[in-house]
Chain A
Amino acid sequence: AQSVSQHNHHVILSEAASLELGCNYSYGGTVNLFWYVQYPGQHLQLLLKYFSGDPLVKGIKGFEAEFIKSKFSFNLRKPSVQWSDTAEYFCAAFAGNNRKLIWGLGTSLAVNP
């Protein structure tokens, strides 16, 4: 079955540290990939997405992600985190002809001031 794995369940960083959150998917064909963010008590918001083209995707709030097909990965990065980045981050994928978005279980990020 197709799946999305987020390896880091909880991450704690200090402000100005660099961030990389892992996301791997299990499908060898065409994929559409997403990262969403959920700030405490709020709904999910789209950070960035990859459908095709340049594998390095830039999103909002200084986030970027790189699609590496050979590694089945779509890791999220930010060079310098802020306290306001404290949130839960979800990776998701459409794979093949699947009508349903496949979700990772999320990574909780806490940034200490």
Chain B
Amino acid sequence: DAGITQSPRHKVTETGTPVTLRCHQTENHRYMYWYRQDPGHGLRLIHYSYGVKDTDKGEVSDGYSVSRSKTEDFLLTLESATSSQTSVYFCAISGGGSYQETQYFGPGTRLLVL
């Protein structure tokens, strides 16, 4: 398995509170991604990064922000959590010289927003 860790692995929070999820990789891969997984929706891309300080939006970016100050860390922040953001969040990484390389996934974070 690729060297990807996510923290926390489980979190319960209340509506309106900020939440930050961390993805850490030891592979020195250029590309990092945040997805959410919900029943009936499969995997949906939230944000991705193509280098330090270089990020872009995915298909469901509203209510989320990201930061990447180091190659190894990609942070996902829910500015003000809502119940619709209850989900399982997966980080993924890929290397090589192109976006179109294989993505490897972290263990996931289960987030419950009450």
Q: Which residues of A contact B (CB under 8 A)?
A: 32, 34, 36, 42-46, 49, 90, 94, 99-101, 103-106
Interface of B is mostly: loop
B42–A46 touching, CB < 8 Å? no
How many chain B residues sit at the interface, stated as a range, is 20 to 34
A43–B105 touching, CB < 8 Å? yes
A24 and B86 alpha carbons, distance in the complex (Å): 30
Partner of B105, one of A44, A49, A99, A103: A44
8 inter-chain pairs at a CB distance below 8 angstroms, sorted by A residue, are A32-B100, A36-B105, A43-B105, A43-B108, A44-B105, A45-B1, A45-B105, A106-B42
A49 and B102 alpha carbons, distance in the complex (Å): 8
Interface of A is mostly: strand
- Distance (Å) between the CB of B21 and the closest chain A CB? 14
**B56: A residues at CB distance < 8 A:** 99
- Distance (Å) between the CB of B1 and the closest chain A CB? 8
> Is B48's CB within 8 Å of the partner chain A?
yes
Q: Which residues of B contact A (CB under 8 A)?
A: 1, 40-45, 48, 56, 58-59, 90, 99-100, 102-108
A105 and B38 alpha carbons, distance in the complex (Å): 10
A94 and B90 alpha carbons, distance in the complex (Å): 19
Partner of A46, one of B44, B59, B90, B102: B102
Partner of A43, one of B44, B45, B107: B107
A42 and B106 alpha carbons, distance in the complex (Å): 9
**B41: A residues at CB distance < 8 A:** 105
A32 and B99 alpha carbons, distance in the complex (Å): 11
A94–B100 touching, CB < 8 Å? yes
A105 and B40 alpha carbons, distance in the complex (Å): 7
**A106: B residues at CB distance < 8 A:** 42
Contact A105:B104 (CB < 8 A) given known A43-B90, A44-B90, A100-B48? no
A34–B102 touching, CB < 8 Å? yes
**B43: A residues at CB distance < 8 A:** 44, 90, 103
